[in-house]
């Protein structure tokens, strides 16, 4: 059944391919975006490695390729509540996909201004959407992009469940009562903290107003293109490689392509959850096709397909390409080593067929990186955003001892043959 779907943040790395995927399936997609991600490129003096085209060009190209129109409204969801509400009332969407948040942890930690922007933007955006859905009186299903980072990355050996943790408490009368609670939040950055706070908004609005909400706790996305973004050069998706927005596996593949030693933070013992961008768009589709009932608690799904340790990824890329591996001081405050076991039964049960690292798509990312390598600004590769004032000041033993506070100097270098 065809739905009308608002994609908030439909110009971004996940939002753009999702918009095209949903449109290709025959849904009526409306993109709402304030183009802030492009403004941040200007602020950081860096751009997508792939030459993304302006929104008007993107949408014209999509109409030519698919015969389908995607209307676009430039709205800042965090600030322009009245315009958002008016659009919901006029268009009456069946579902809203909410990507309209600042999504980079390092960007959120750059300064107090960046922390405050991330909190103001992300929390207001989420709350405005929820308040507008209730105000409209419509039964709109909200699907939100959360993050695996809400859980933290450590467990006492157990698998991280999908959102809810079964607990048993002893009452005053000595009875044992079992219930499920939201898994305890344990954010590792201001950005991740905003997503943990989003969860409380969702729990409240699902309980009080019976808004139907799905929260998708996504891992680190790798890859860049989907079948739809490959249909025309003007539809190409973003490829972030810089120290703030580039995510680890895409960065390693890009670094190998331009001959830059792979920037492993610390020992590289951090284990994280991963998902390919093609699975991201399929998961959104599956979540929209299986909405919760009215009055149901927030439906939480872990949107990831596999876990990997950072140094193993570096080794994989190094073995495939001969790239050097550089162990650099970690600019973040995070566990040096962790194990991570995650449940993703809900998406598997809905029919997701995971795209994994051994599926041959690593080469596709490398090809994209090599193709546009001449556009890269290598000075933007180091992660210069530090998590604490001490790291910024270059305290002994901490990251950031270079003149600009940038942890640029490799502490040790391995080659692919080591
Ligand atoms: N790392 C390196 N070298 C690098 C870049 C990163 O060793 O050059 C390490 C980091 O220290 C960290 C890990 O790789 O331990 C992951 O970093 P990342 O930048 O790939 O991912 P992260 O900051 O966690 O954020 C990304 C997305 C965010 C999403 C999150 C999912 O930007 O929107 O929510 O992944 S998750 O990590 O599961 O919380």
Q: Give the domain ranges of the chain.
A: 4-241+274-310+337-372
Strands 212-218 and 164-170: unpaired
Domain 4-241+274-310+337-372 belongs in CATH node 3.40.50.720: yes
Ligand 1 binding pocket includes 148 (Cβ within 6 Å): yes
In the reported structure, the alpha carbon of residue 297 is separated from the centroid of ligand 1 by a whole-number distance in angstroms of 29
pLDDT of residue 312 exceeding 80, the answer is yes
For 409, counting Cβ atoms within 10 Å of its Cβ (0-12 exposed, 13-18 middle, 19+ buried), the class is exposed
What's the pTM value of the predicted model, to 2 decimals? 0.94
Q: Check residue 403 and give its pLDDT.
A: 35
- Ligand 1 atom, smallest distance to 262 CA: 8
Chain segment 222-278, per-residue pLDDT in tens: 999 999 999 999 999 999 999 999 999 999 999 999 999 999 999 999 999 999 999
> With contact defined as beta carbons under 8 Å apart, do 14 and 31 qualify?
no
Rounded to whole angstroms, the Cα distance separating 18 from 33 reads 14
pLDDT reported for residue 395? 55
The pLDDT of residue 417 is above 60: no
- Give, in degrees to the nearest 5, the angle at Cα 150 between 149 and 153: 50
C-alpha angle 147/288/296, rounded to 5°?
80
Q: Closest ligand 1 atom, CA of 252?
A: 8
Query: What tens digit of pLDDT does each residue of 328-365 get?
Result: 999 999 999 999 999 999 999 999 999 999 888 899 99
Q: Indicate which residues carry an active-site annotation.
A: 147, 191, 195
- Calculate the average pLDDT of the chain: 94
Yes or no: say if 243 and 381 are a contact pair by the CB < 8 Å rule: yes
Span 305-326, mean pLDDT? 97
């Amino acid at each position: 059944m065809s739905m009308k779907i608002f994609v908030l943040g439909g110009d971004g790395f996940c939002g753009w391919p999702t918009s095209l995927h949903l449109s290709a399936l025959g849904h009526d997609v409306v993109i709402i975006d304030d183009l802030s991600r492009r403004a941040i490129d200007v602020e950081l003096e860096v751009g997508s490695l792939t030459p993304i085209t302006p929104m008007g060009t993107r949408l014209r190209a999509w109409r030519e390729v698919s015969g389908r129109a995607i209307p676009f409204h430039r709205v800042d969801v965090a600030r322009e509540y009245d315009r958002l509400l008016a659009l919901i009332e006029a268009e009456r969407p069946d579902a809203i996909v909410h990507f309209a948040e600042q999504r980079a942890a390092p960007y959120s930690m750059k300064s107090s201004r960046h922390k405050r922007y991330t909190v103001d933007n992300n929390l207001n955006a989420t709350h405005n959407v929820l308040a507008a859905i209730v105000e409209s009186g419509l039964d709109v299903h909200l699907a939100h992009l959360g993050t695996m980072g809400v859980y933290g990355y450590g467990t006492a050996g157990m698998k991280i469940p999908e959102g809810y943790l079964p607990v048993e408490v002893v009452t005053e009368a000595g009875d044992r009562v079992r219930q499920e609670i939201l898994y305890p939040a344990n954010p590792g950055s201001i950005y991740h903290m905003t997503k943990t706070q989003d969860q409380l908004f969702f729990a409240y609005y699902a309980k009080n107003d019976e808004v139907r909400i799905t929260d998708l706790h996504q891992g680190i996305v790798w890859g860049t293109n989907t079948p739809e973004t490959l249909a025309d050069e003007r539809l190409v998706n973003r490829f972030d490689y810089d120290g703030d927005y580039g995510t680890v596996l895409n960065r390693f593949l890009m670094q190998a392509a331009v001959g830059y030693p792979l920037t492993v933070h610390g020992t590289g013992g951090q284990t994280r959850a991963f998902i390919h961008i093609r699975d991201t768009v399929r998961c959104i589709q599956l979540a929209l096709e299986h909405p919760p009932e009215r009055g149901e608690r927030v439906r939480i799904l872990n949107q990831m397909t596999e876990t990997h340790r950072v140094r193993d990824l570096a080794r994989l890329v190094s073995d495939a390409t001969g790239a050097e591996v550089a162990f650099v001081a970690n600019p973040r405050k995070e566990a040096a080593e962790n194990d991570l076991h995650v449940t993703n039964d809900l998406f598997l049960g809905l029919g997701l067929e995971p795209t994994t690292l051994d599926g041959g798509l690593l080469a596709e990312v490398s090809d994209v990186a090599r193709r546009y390598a001449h556009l890269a600004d290598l000075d933007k590769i180091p992660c210069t955003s530090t998590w604490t004032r001490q790291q910024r000041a270059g305290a002994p033993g901490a990251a950031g001892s270079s003149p600009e506070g940038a942890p640029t100097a490799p502490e040790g270098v391995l080659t692919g043959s080591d």
